[in-house]
Amino acid sequence: MKRIALLLMLVTPVIIAAPSSEVAWTPALLKSVKNANPAKGKELAAAKTCTSCHGETGISNAPDTPSLGGQLATSLYKQLRDYAKGSRQHDLMSSVASGLSEQETADIAAYYASLALPANKSSSESSDKTEKLVELGDDKRILPPCEVCHGSNGQGEKMDIPALKGQRADYLVKTMLEFKNGQRHNDIYSRMRRIAEQLSEQEIKDLANYYQTLD
């Protein structure tokens, strides 16, 4: 019950000037993403030179570029549409995403979702404090466990909560700091902003390393 109460407090809507995302998950949209064509998505990824940044198999080698292999299709679709609509900003990605139709976006998302998640990148061990944040959260700061949303093994959850398992720690740190300082704001109901604001930079680094090295 405590976990449920914490999660409800976290997802309580807040009043903001503009929607954090223009993606609304209707049954029709979910069906469209589910039935998208990975083969066409692979062709599009090659044509749009996605592989030059995200790797031939969806595994990035650049510190500030995410790996996309094995990511939830719904999560990838949302991020691409957010780039296209301006809810999320990036000089290159905003341009690429705005040139894709909704169907093309779904096909690319399906392609990367069909690939394998990144493998463990290190054998370093996480601290008990970090594992507690992942598994139990922190009642004093009203922080829910990370696994409530991102899954018990970092695999991501429906509708569009991203997988974190094997993701580059450098990228996760960058992303969390952007949420922390308000630079990124396409999280529904400000969920990640409200969490990141309460985490220290060291905790963010420790969590990023935890998920990068997750088996």
In this predicted model, what pLDDT tens digit does every residue of 30-77 receive, in sequence order? 999 999 999 999 999 999 999 999 998 999 988 889 999 999 999 999
- Cβ neighbours of residue 14 under 8 Å, at least 6 residues apart? 189, 190
Query: Quick one: tokens of 114?
Result: 């069909």
With a cut of 80, say whether residue 172 has pLDDT above it.
yes
Q: In the predicted model, is pLDDT for residue 13 greater than 60? A: no
**Inter-residue contact 167 to 146 (CB < 8 Å):** no
Report the candidate in 137, 131, 135, 156 with the shortest Cα–Cα distance to residue 194.
137
Confidence at residue 3, expressed as pLDDT on a 0 to 100 scale: 53
pLDDT at 62: 87
Task: Tell me the residue length of the chain.
Answer: 215
Q: Give me the CATH topology for the region 2-13+119-212.
A: Cytochrome Bc1 Complex; Chain D, domain 2 (1.10.760)
78-98 pLDDT, tens digit per residue, is 999 999 999 999 999 999 999
Q: Is 199 helix (H, G, I), strand (E, B) or coil?
A: coil
Fold exhibited by the domain 27-113: Cytochrome Bc1 Complex; Chain D, domain 2 (1.10.760)
With 60 as the cut, is the pLDDT of residue 9 above it? no
H-helix segments, 63-212:
73-85, 91-98, 102-113, 128-135, 146-150, 169-180, 191-196, 201-212
What pLDDT, on the 0 to 100 scale, is given for residue 215? Answer: 76
- pLDDT of amino acid 85: 95
Residue 123 is predicted with a pLDDT of: 56
Do residues 69 and 109 touch, judged by C-beta distance below 8 A?
A: no
Tens of pLDDT, residues 116-149: 988 766 656 678 999 999 999 999 999 999 999 9
Which residue intervals of the chain bear CATH 1.10.760.10? 2-13+119-212, 27-113
| SS3 (DSSP) at 138 | strand
Whether residue 207 has pLDDT greater than 70: yes
What would the pLDDT profile of 17-32 be if each residue is shown by its tens digit? Answer: 567 888 999 999 999 9
Q: What is d(CA 172, CA 127) in angstroms, rounded to the nearest whole number?
A: 18
Q: In which band, very low, low, confident or very high, does the pLDDT at 162 lie, cut at 50, 70 and 90?
A: very high
Q: What is the pLDDT of residue 200?
A: 97
pLDDT at residue 202, as a whole number = 96
pLDDT attached to residue 67: 94
pLDDT of residue 14: 43
Return d(Cα 55, Cα 59) in angstroms, integer.
5
How many Cβ atoms from other residues are within 10 Å of residue 138's Cβ? 16
C-alpha distances in angstroms, 121 versus 60, 68, 133, 167, 171?
12, 15, 21, 9, 14
